Amino acid sequence: MSAPDTDCFRAFYVHKFRAVLGKNRLIFPGEKVLLAWSGGPSSSSMVWQVLEGLSRDSAKRLRFVPGVVYVDEGAACGRSPADRAHTVAEMRLLLQAVGFPWHVVTLEEVFSLPPSVLRCFPQEPVGAVGTYKVAVDSYLQQQHALGPERAGGSPIPAQEGERAGQPCSHDPRGLAGPQPAAQTEALSQLFGSVKTLTAKEELLHTLRTHLILHVARTHGYSKVMTGDSCTRLAIKLMTSLALGRGAFLAWDTGFSDERHGDVVVVRPMRDHTLKEVAFYNRLFAVPSVLAPAMDTRAPEKASIHRLMEGFLLRLQVQFPSTVSTVYRTSEKLVKAPRDGRATGPRCLLCLCALDIDASDSATAFGAQTLDFSQTQPPTPRAEAGSPTEVGSAQDCCQGAGPCRRDDPRARVMEQLCYSCRANMKDVPSFDLLPPYILAEAQLRSQRYWLATQWGALPGCGASFWAAAPGDKFPACGFPQGLTRHPGVSGRGQR
Ligand SMILES: [Zn+2]
């Protein structure tokens, strides 16, 4: 590539990154944004784009406050401690060079997560376009008042307890530092027990998401940026479809994902193809750290993820518009509800609005429900299309089989969406799951049971739900669904 071509490509590449952020106007000036860096090419390129965007002198400089998180997943992938230490050391060197505040966490830390990580907290009011403009103007005025040295200098104000280029201390529960060997062993055992690579990949994605969400919340980040390229998102869209996540495609592949409420995931690399990323990283010496992933050296038919990747990439060679066609389709998908504030029960693992169905319906979901609760006769409420049958009074006190509230597996399964249910069928023992998942499942079940008991008392039915719904069970996705009368079908909520 000649020099003018290189310049042109660079301008095009940078413009795409800036344009996708500018068009969506989601990140406000001064907002704390956590960059999820896996060490791979796309997320490395994203970190470098942010680094470059923050150091620019132009008026179009990025104005948010970044931090970086790196999750060491070596235990789930069966890597040796020496290998893992080598990769982490490489990442640390790069993180120091980048100079943002950073957090290195290991996947073992999911065993220390609190159950509250599985709850949706209310989102800060999202500003309209006018509000965004007001925020930018006031930020510029502030910068002007600080004087030219500060305004033109480092755009990264030092945060309390965080210094640029330094690792950040974690919360007092002690998530930092080397993990006990027992936790590494427990994680290896969990992933070793999962029957299929597809379920392993999904479980890894779920646990990683929860961990990053926890880091974001404990350090006050309101946005998380991931480095999903357009090629990766096209593959993810087709994979999600195959995994039964059709209802959540807009959340899984869109620019922003508001399912967690207070922390929004954004995907600023979604207009860049993997090929562009590879060219850019090579031309401008963007470093990346390659570590073997879970599916490294796995045969192509080992998992739905690998199969879909191979299928799409091969099709792309013959028909170069394949990826862009699939990707453009993802742009047209609309979230339901549009503002992202779904009410009603959420899936325990992926935290999407539960795609609920009655256990005796003639759908795939209904068949699954029957599968794990076949000892239970259909209850009158199930026939009426009740939202969920979690530990309801009928199940516990009148069912012929064992009480579902005492069976941890059934308790978790009935709080999952269709796709998560299918994946968790390949996890033989739920006792190996991190405690926060089981604890939250039990908590939700108990709350629902209590609520139904309360609702069953004479004179305490509809008035209980109408009185002060948010006050009784704040900040939990599941009880939000209880703000209506339990007899009302969940279908109308979507
Ligand atoms: Zn789910």
CATH of the domain at 69: 3.40.50.620
Reported confidence tier of residue 298, pLDDT bands at 50, 70, 90: confident
264: helix, strand or coil: strand
Same domain membership, residue 146 and residue 197: yes
CB contact at 8 A, 286 and 272: no
pLDDT of 448 strictly over 70: yes
pLDDT of 43 strictly over 80: yes
Give the Å distance between the CA of 207 and the centre of ligand 1: 12
Give the Å distance between the CA of 130 and the centre of ligand 1: 35
Give the Å distance between the CA of 64 and the centre of ligand 1: 31
Taking residues 295-301, what's their average pLDDT? 86
Same domain membership, residue 412 and residue 319: no
How deeply is 281 buried, as exposed, middle or buried, from its count of CB atoms within 10 A (0-12, 13-18, 19+)? middle
- Sign, CA dihedral 267-272-278-279, equals negative
Give the Å distance between the CA of 150 and the centre of ligand 1: 46
CA–CA gap between residue 339 and residue 178 (Å, rounded): 41
Give the Å distance between the CA of 357 and the centre of ligand 1: 14
pLDDT in tens, 178-214: 567 899 999 999 999 999 999 999 999 999 999 999 9
Helix or strand holding residue 67 (H, E): strand 65-72
Same domain membership, residue 402 and residue 296: no
Same domain membership, residue 371 and residue 433: yes
pTM of this prediction?
0.79
Structure tokens at 54: 């923050």
End residue of a domain, out of 285, 314, 332: 332
In a domain, 252, yes or no: yes
> In sequence order, what are the residues at sequence separation of 6 or more whose Cβ sits closer than 8 angstroms to the Cβ of residue 258?
123, 251, 264, 335, 340, 341
Amino acid at 482: L
Give the Å distance between the CA of 88 and the centre of ligand 1: 31
34: helix, strand or coil: strand
How deeply is 6 buried, as exposed, middle or buried, from its count of CB atoms within 10 A (0-12, 13-18, 19+)? middle
Taking residues 402-406, what's their average pLDDT? 58
In a domain, 19, yes or no: yes
In a domain, 137, yes or no: yes
Give the Å distance between the CA of 101 and the centre of ligand 1: 32
In a domain, 186, yes or no: yes
Which of 442, 201, 438 is CA-nearest to residue 302?
201
Give the Å distance between the CA of 80 and the centre of ligand 1: 31
Strand pairing class (223-225; 32-36): parallel
- Sign, CA dihedral 43-45-48-54, equals negative
Same domain membership, residue 328 and residue 395: no
Give the residue carrying structure tokens 């006018």.
Answer: 130
End residue of a domain, out of 283, 316, 332: 332
For residue 321, the number of C-alpha atoms closer than 13 Å in the C-beta half-sphere is 3
CA–CA gap between residue 476 and residue 318 (Å, rounded): 48
Taking residues 160-164, what's their average pLDDT? 48
Give the Å distance between the CA of 310 and the centre of ligand 1: 25
Q: Report how many domains make up the chain.
A: 2
Give the Å distance between the CA of 25 and the centre of ligand 1: 28
Length of the chain: 494
Structure tokens at 169: 């201390």
- Sign, CA dihedral 423-350-72-231, equals positive
CA–CA gap between residue 124 and residue 32 (Å, rounded): 13
Same domain membership, residue 218 and residue 284: yes
End residue of a domain, out of 290, 312, 332: 332
pLDDT in tens, 407-443: 889 989 989 999 999 999 999 999 999 999 999 999 9
What's the whole-number average pLDDT of the chain? 78
Q: What's residue 486's pLDDT?
A: 37
Same domain membership, residue 393 and residue 274: no
| β partners of residue 234 | none
Give the Å distance between the CA of 347 and the centre of ligand 1: 5
Give the Å distance between the CA of 237 and the centre of ligand 1: 15
Give the Å distance between the CA of 123 and the centre of ligand 1: 20
In a domain, 358, yes or no: no
Higher pLDDT: 81 or 123? It is 81
CA–CA gap between residue 96 and residue 25 (Å, rounded): 30
Give the Å distance between the CA of 221 and the centre of ligand 1: 24
Give the Å distance between the CA of 202 and the centre of ligand 1: 10
CA–CA gap between residue 206 and residue 210 (Å, rounded): 6
Give the Å distance between the CA of 245 and the centre of ligand 1: 8
In a domain, 353, yes or no: no
**Integer Rg of the chain from CA:** 24
Q: 301 lies in which domain range? A: 3-332
Same domain membership, residue 98 and residue 196: yes
Instruction: Tell me the percentage of the chain whose pLDDT exceeds 90.
Output: 52
Give the residue carrying structure tokens 């910068």.
Answer: 143
How deeply is 14 buried, as exposed, middle or buried, from its count of CB atoms within 10 A (0-12, 13-18, 19+)? middle
Taking residues 61-73, what's their average pLDDT? 93
Helix axes 41-55, 3-24, angle to 10 degrees: 80
Same domain membership, residue 434 and residue 293: no
pLDDT of 374 strictly over 80: no
Same domain membership, residue 202 and residue 87: yes
Give the Å distance between the CA of 412 and the centre of ligand 1: 11
Reported confidence tier of residue 97, pLDDT bands at 50, 70, 90: very high
| β partners of residue 102 | 68, 167
Query: For residue 259, is it left (φ>0), alpha (ψ between -120 and 50) or beta?
Result: alpha
CA–CA gap between residue 86 and residue 98 (Å, rounded): 19
Same domain membership, residue 379 and residue 312: no
Give the Å distance between the CA of 417 and the centre of ligand 1: 4
In a domain, 189, yes or no: yes
How deeply is 120 buried, as exposed, middle or buried, from its count of CB atoms within 10 A (0-12, 13-18, 19+)? buried
Give the Å distance between the CA of 328 and the centre of ligand 1: 25
CB contact at 8 A, 408 and 441: yes
Strand order in the sheet with 223-225: 102-106, 65-72, 32-36, 223-225, 264-266, 256-257
Q: What's residue 489's pLDDT?
A: 37
Instruction: Tell me the percentage of the chain whose pLDDT exceeds 70.
Output: 68
Give the residue carrying structure tokens 């064992």.
Answer: 402
Same domain membership, residue 294 and residue 394: no
Give the Å distance between the CA of 305 and the centre of ligand 1: 17
- Sign, CA dihedral 258-201-274-60, equals positive
In a domain, 313, yes or no: yes
CA–CA gap between residue 397 and residue 375 (Å, rounded): 14
Find the distance separating the first CA and the last CA of the chain, reported in whole Å. 51
Which of 427, 423, 414, 479 is CA-nearest to residue 452?
479
Give the Å distance between the CA of 351 and the centre of ligand 1: 6
Give the residue carrying structure tokens 């930020």.
Answer: 139
Give the Å distance between the CA of 348 and the centre of ligand 1: 7
Give the Å distance between the CA of 184 and the centre of ligand 1: 25
Q: Read off φ and ψ for residue 363, nearest 5 degrees.
A: -115, 170
Give the Å distance between the CA of 298 and the centre of ligand 1: 25
Give the Å distance between the CA of 206 and the centre of ligand 1: 9
For the chain, helix, strand, coil in percent to 5 are 55, 5, 40
CB contact at 8 A, 199 and 426: yes
